Amino acid sequence: MIVEKEIQCVICPAGCELRLFCDATAAVLHRLEGAACAKGREFAERELTDPRRTLTSTVKVRGGRFPLVSVRSAAPLPKHILPAAVAMLGAIWTEAPVAAGQIILADIMGAGIALVATEAVERKKNDEIPEKRIVRVTGFLYNSNQRRET
């Protein structure tokens, strides 16, 4: 029995609408319609057996000019592990300076794929530490004189 399935190709902005004709288990692709290029077939086959997506997110940086560094998986990850992978990234800290392309994590959740920085984050220089002002903020409950001592 041939099963028909429609999916969007997400490889490029063209966003081809693919029509897949596969076997009953939806694992073997017999015929493909709608792909404007060869990458469409590759995508469709993978989508049937092992759908993958590139993970892009951010990781916290200590001592950096910015609080976060943007990261990506070096290759697409199995789609189903993305949510857990992003949750896991929340616990990670990296130290500035960070170089673009630097490996932040060698293996994302045993998938054998590294997490790499997609930008550089310099260390915060001393002269860039903003001047601190003497202001006491205690939430927004003001129950005493609001006048500032000058």
Partner 1 sequence: MEKYFDVAVIGGGAVGCAIARELCRYELAVVLLEKESDVGRGASGRNSAVVHAGFNNPPGSLAARLCVEGCAGFAAACRELAVPYRRSGKLVVALAPEDQPVLERLLAQGQANGVPELALWTPRQARAREPRLDSRGALWSGATGLTNPLLYTIALAENALANGAEIWLNFPVDAVARAGEGFILRAGERSLRAAWIVNAAGLYADRVAALAGDSAYRVYPCRGEYLVLDKQAAALLSTPVYPAPRPGVGGLGVHLTPTVDGNILIGPSAEYIDSRADTGTTAAVMTRLWEEAMRLLPALAQSRVIAAYAGLRSKIIPAGEQNFADFIVEHSRAVPGLINLVGVESPGLTASLPLARRVIRLLDEKMRLKAKPDFQPERKREGEFRFLPPKRRRAAAAADPAAREIVCRCETVTRREILTALNNPLGARALNAVKARSRAMTGRCQGGYCQRRVVAIMMEEYGIRSEDISLNGPESWLFTGAMK
Partner 2 sequence: MAFYRGNEMSEEKILRPDLAIIGGGPAGLAAAAAARSAGAERVLVLEREPLAGGILNQCVHDGFGLVRFGENLTGPEYAARFLQAALAAGVEIRPQTMALELTAQKQLWILGPRGYVRVEAGAVILATGCRERTRGAIQIPGSRPAGVFTAGAAQYYLNRQNLMIGRRVLILGSGDIGLIMARRLTLEGARVLAVVEKMPYAGGLTRNISQCLEDYDIPLYLNHTVTKIEGRQRVESVTVVRLDEAGRAVSGAERVYDCDTVILSVGLIPENELALQAGVELSPVTGGAMVGDDLQTNIPGLFACGNALHVHDLVDYVSAEGETAARNAVTFIRAENRAAARPLIPVRPAAGLRYVMPFFVRPGARPLISLRVKEPLGRRRIVVKAGGRILAERKFPRLAPAKMERLTLREPVPLAATLLEVMIYDS
DSSP state of 84: H
Is the Cβ–Cβ distance between 72 and 100 less than 8 Å? no
Of 17, 42, 50, 107, the residue at the interface with partner 2 (CB under 8 A) is 17
From the list 10-18, 33-41, 43-51, 142-150, the region that binds partner 1 by CB under 8 A is 142-150
For position 126 contacting partner 1 by CB under 8 A, the verdict is no
Amino acid type, 6: E
CA atoms within 13 A on the CB side of 120: 5
From the list 19-27, 102-110, 115-123, 134-142, the region that binds partner 2 by CB under 8 A is 115-123
Measured between alpha carbons, how far is 126 from 63 in angstroms, rounded to an integer? 11
Is the Cβ–Cβ distance between 117 and 69 less than 8 Å? yes
Of 19, 32, 41, 57, the residue at the interface with partner 2 (CB under 8 A) is 57
The residues that touch partner 2, with contacts defined as CB under 8 A, are 7-13, 15, 17, 36, 53-54, 56-58, 60, 65-68, 70-72, 79, 82-83, 86-87, 100, 118-120, 127-128, 130-131
